[in-house]
Structure 1
Amino acid sequence: MTTVLVIGGAAPKESGFVRDICERAMDQFLARNVTVILTDTKENLAAAPELVARAADSHELDFADAAACVNWATTFARHTPVHAVVGFREYAAVSVAEVAAALGLPGNPPEAVRRVRTKDECREFLRQHGVRQPELALCATEREAVDFLAAHGPEVVVKPRRGSSSEGVRRVSDPTAMAAAFGEALDAEGLVLVEEFVHGAEFSVEGLFEAGAPHVLTVTQKHLAPGGFVEIGHVMPAPLPGAVEAEVRATVIRALDILGLGRGHFHVECWVTDSGVVLGEVHARQPGDWLHSMLEWIHPGLELYGRWLDDLLGVPAATALPQRPARGAAARFLAPPSGVVRAVHGWAELSAHPSLLAASCALSPGSAVRPVSSNLDRHGAVVVGTGDAATAESLAAQLLTGLRIDVTA
C-alpha cells in the first residue's frame, strides 16, 4: 500500500475552514486507496475523532517543531515505508519540507521554505533578483522603527517576521503609536519587521505546482477592513483587465521560480499600483479563508489535495489543470461592532440558501464581541458559489445584509 504522512492534519469542527481542509484532503486521499498516517497535537487529535477514525494510524506530534517531526518520522519510516509527506498549515510548512528531505521524498527544498517563512529574508532575496518589493527594515528598537517611519512615511506597516492571519500587523503613521505596535510584533529574537506602506488594490494568486512548474488557478480580489489589514471579503476570480492580470500572474510565477519552490500549493499576495505590480507575501501552502472551497467550486472537478498527492507520487494526471475559472465565488466575514450580543436575526434564512459553499456564525445572545484586529477575530463567514464572480459578490453582500446582530456596547 502507498502511505501518505500528514503533518498537522487534524482540527476541531470549530476551526471552520481549517477543519474543512483536513476533511477534504482525507476524502481525496482515501479515494486514491492510500494509507493515511495522521499526526497532530494531542489537543487537535482529541478534537477530531472522526478524522482519527478514518486514518490508518494517528500519532501525537507538534507540527511546528521541525526537528521533532524529523526525529519521529525517520524512526517511523524504519518500520513503515512512507511514500509522500503533506501538511496544510502555515506553521507546518517547514516541518513538511524537512521531513520529506530527510526521507528522500519529493517536496519543496527546506531552505526555500524557511526563506519564505521569514518575511524579510524572502523580500530581500526577491529584491536582489529584481522583483519589486516594499522597502523594509528589520528593527531591534522602537527608535529604529520611528526612524524608518520618518524616512519612508507618512505611514508604515509594523509586523512580526514569521506571523500569519494578520496577527500583530499594524499600520502606523504617528510616532507615538509605534511603541504599542512594536511591542505586538516583537519576536523571540527581539526583532520587528517594518515595511513601507504600499498604496494599491490588494490581490492574491492561488495555484498548484505540477511536475515542478507553477500553475495559476486564479487571482483573488481582497476586501480589507477600513484602515487595517483584516480581510473581510474575497472575490474569485478578481475583476481585472486582461493585461493587468497577465502582469500579476507573470510576476508571481517569476518569484516562485526565483525562490526555488516546486511542490504543492502556493498563495501569493500582491498590490496593483499606478506604477505596476508590487509583490507581497509568499506562502508555500494553500490559501485560508475558505479560498480552497472557492477554488474547487470555480474549477468543477478539481481536487486540490488529491492532485497534489498524485504529483508527489508521480501519478500521471488524467486531465490538464484548468486554464480559466468556469464559475465565480465570493466570501464575506462577520465583524460586528464590539460589545455583547443581544440577539442574532436572520441566520436560519441565510444558512438555508442553496448557493452557500460554507456558512458559520460563532455569535449567540451573551457572546462578547471584541475588536477585530486580526483574521482570527472574525466571528463567522458566508461563502457562496454562483455562475460568475459578480453575481457571487452581490449575493454574499446581500446575504450578510439580511443578517442582523444586535450588540450592546
Structure 2
Amino acid sequence: MPDQTAPSLLFVGGAANATLAVDVVATAVAQARKRGLRIHMTNQEETFAALPATTALADAASVVDFEKRGEHAAWAGERLAAGENFDIVFGVREMAQEAVAEAAEAFGRPGNPPHVVNRVRNKDAARAALSAAGFLQPACQVFADAASALEFLKNSTGPWVVKPRDAMGSEGVTRLDEPAQLEAALKLMPHQGAFIVEEFVEGPEYSVEGVFIGGAPHMLAVTSKELLPPPHFFEVEYLIPAPMPEETEREIVEQVTAALHALEVRFGQFHVELWVTERGVVMGEVHVRNAGGWIHRMLAHVIPGLEWFGLVFDDVLGLPIDKAALVPSRGAAIRFLTPTPGRLLAIEGWEEVLAHPAVLYAELAVAVGDVIHPYESVEHRVATIAVGADTAIEARDLLDKLEASVRFVTEPVEPAAVSAGVAEHA
C-alpha cells in the first residue's frame, strides 16, 4: 500500500508498445520510486492491455487518450472536483507532450504551456518562430496536396526534404533531388494530410540533450549523428559527447539556449536537433522530452550517477541539484546495424556481443526467417549495440570491432514480400 502522504507523480501517456519505450518508462519510474513518489499512470486502453508489466509499475492507472486534445484537461477537472491533485505531471512520449502540458496546467503544476508544446511539435510553426527570432532556418513551406507542392518544386532549386508536420523517428522524411520523386515520397507518409517541404541543409547533424533546472536549460551533452546516404534519414550511429572543437560546442550550446528561450520552453527534459554549417548553427527540431535511440542509457554512462528523469522530479520537489557534477567524464557510442535487406538465413557472432563487458545495451529485433526491410525510419532498426568507454572515440572503435564480429546471412526476396514494418515474419 503506497504512502498516501508521499508526493505524487502523474505519468501521462505511460509507455508505447516498444522495447525502447518500455525501458524508458521503467527507468523513469525507478527514479521516481527512489524519491518516494506515488505514481498514477494514464494511457490508451489498448496499450495498457498490451503492457501489463509496465502498467503494474504504477500505483494506479486510468484510461485517458493522450491523442485526443482536451481529454487530459477534462480528466484533471474531474480529479480536482473529487479532491485529488498531483505534485508532478510528466511524460516521455512525443505524441503525449501536449496532453502533459494540458494536465500540468489544469492541476496548476510546473510545465510547459500547451500553446508552446503545440508550436514546437508542429515543425512549420517552430521554424517560423525561430526564423522570426533571428535563428538560421531552412526555407520551409506547408502544402495540403501534391499538386501545389509539385508546382513549388518545379519553380525552386533543390535538393529538398519532405516530412510530416508532427511525426517522429524520421518516419516519412525523404530527400528529393528532383520533383519527380515527390509522389514516391508522399507514399511513405505515416498519415494523410498537410506535409512540409523544406530546404535540405548541408552539414553534420547533432543533437543536444538537457534538462531545465529552476526554469533555465542545462545542457548535459552534445550527441553526434551518422546517417545512411539519402534519400531517407536513417540514423546509424551516435557518439556522446560529440567529438568537436570547444568553440563549436560553445556556439551550439549558446544557440540552443537562446532557441529554447525564444520558443518559451521552460520545463522538463529537452532534445534539440541541429546542423553545423558554413553559415553557422542551423536549428532543427525541438523536442520537450528525452531523446530516443537509447541515449538515456548512454548518458548514464557518460555522466556517472546521472538520473535524467530524476532531475526533473528533483527540480519540482525543490531537492538540491549539483549542476557542477552534470558534465560528461566518459564516452559512449551506439550503432544501429544495417545488414543487407532480404530474408534472414542466419546470424553469427551475436552471443559474443552480448557477453562483452563494455556493452551497455544490445538488442536483436529479427530472427532467422524474417524479411529485413530497406532502411527508411527508426521502425526499421534490426540490431542495436551500445557501448561505454573512457572516450567516445574509444567507444566507436570498439563498435567497429563488435559489428565486424557479427555476420547476417540474407537472400534477396521479391519486393512484394517485404512488409512496411521492421521485418516480415515467415
TM-score by length of 2: 0.91
Question: Can you list the C-alpha shifts for 1:286-333, whole angstroms capped at 9, x where unaligned?
Answer: 1000011111111111111111012123x2324225453110000001
**Aligned pair partner of 1:285 in 280, 285, 289:** 289
Against the structure 1 CA distance between its residues 66 and 385, is the aligned structure 2 distance closer, same or farther, given a 3 Å change threshold? Answer: farther
Q: Deviations over 1:254-311 (max 9, x none)?
A: 0000000111011111111122111111111110000111111111111111110121
Kept in 1, the 8 Å contact 2:207–2:222? The answer is yes
How far did residue 398 of structure 1 move?
1.7
Q: 1:129 corresponds to which residue?
A: 133
- Describe the SS at the equivalent of 2:78: helix
Question: Residue 304 of structure 1 corresponds to which residue in structure 2?
Answer: 308
Q: Look up the match of 1:8.
A: 13
How far 1:151 moved relative to its partner? 4.6
Per-residue CA deviations over 1:207-232 (Å, capped at 9, x if unaligned) read: 10010000111110001011131111
Displacement, 1:144? 3.0
1:20 aligns with 2:32: no
The answer to whether the 8 Å contact 1:16/1:360 transfers is no
Find 1:395's aligned residue among 384, 393, 398: 398
Aligned equivalents of 1:199 and 1:90: distance in 2? 26
The answer as to whether partners of 2:22 and 2:54 remain within 8 angstroms in 1 is no
1:344 to 341, 344, 347: 347
The CA deviation at 1:184 is 3.5
Note closer, same or farther for the CA distance 1:357–1:135 as it changes in structure 2 (3 Å cut).
same
Aligned-pair CA distance for 1:44: 2.5
1:120 aligns with 2:155: no
- 2:183 corresponds to: 179
* Aligned mate of 2:383, from 380, 384, 396: 380
Q: Deviations over 1:328-348 (max 9, x none)?
A: 000001222221110111111
Counterpart of 2:296, as a letter, is H
Q: Which residue of 1 aligns with 2:60?
A: 57
1:132-156: per-residue Cα shift (whole Å, max 9, x none)?
A: 1000111223233234334543310
Amino acid paired to 1:343: A
1:214/1:262 contact within 8 Å kept: yes
Q: CA deviation at 1:161?
A: 0.6
RMSD: 1.6
The answer to whether the 8 A contact 1:29-1:309 is kept is: yes
Deviations 1:7-62 (A, max 9, x none): 122344xx222111111111010111111011222232233333333321112222
Matched residues in 2 for 1:322 and 1:381: separation?
A: 29
Which one of the candidate residues 183, 201, 206 is aligned to 1:203? 206
Q: CA deviation at 1:92?
A: 0.6
1:110 is aligned to 114
What residue in structure 1 maps to residue 424 of structure 2?
A: none
Tell me, in whole angstroms, the C-alpha distance in 2 between the residues paired with 1:385 and 1:67.
42
| Counterpart AA for 2:67 | A
Structure-1-length-normalised TM-score: 0.95
* 2:269 matches 1:265: yes
**Where does the alignment leave 5 or more consecutive residues of structure 1 unmatched?**
none
SS at match of 2:238: strand
| Distance in 2 of aligned mates of 1:328 and 1:141 | 45
1:276 to 277, 280, 283: 280
Deviations 1:103-148 (A, max 9, x none): 1111001111000000000000110010110001112232332343
Read off the aligned partner of 1:146 and give its amino acid letter.
L
Residue 76 in structure 1 maps to residue 79 in structure 2: yes
Quote the Cα distance in structure 2 between the aligned partners of 1:246 and 1:23: 33
Q: 2:374 aligns to what?
A: 371
Cα distance 1:66–1:310, how it changes in 2: closer, same or farther (>3 A)? farther
Shift of 1:187: 5.3
Q: Are residues 151 and 219 of structure 1, via their aligned partners in 2, closer, same or farther at CA, if it must alter by over 3 Å?
A: farther
Structure 2: runs of 5 or more not aligned: 1-5, 413-426
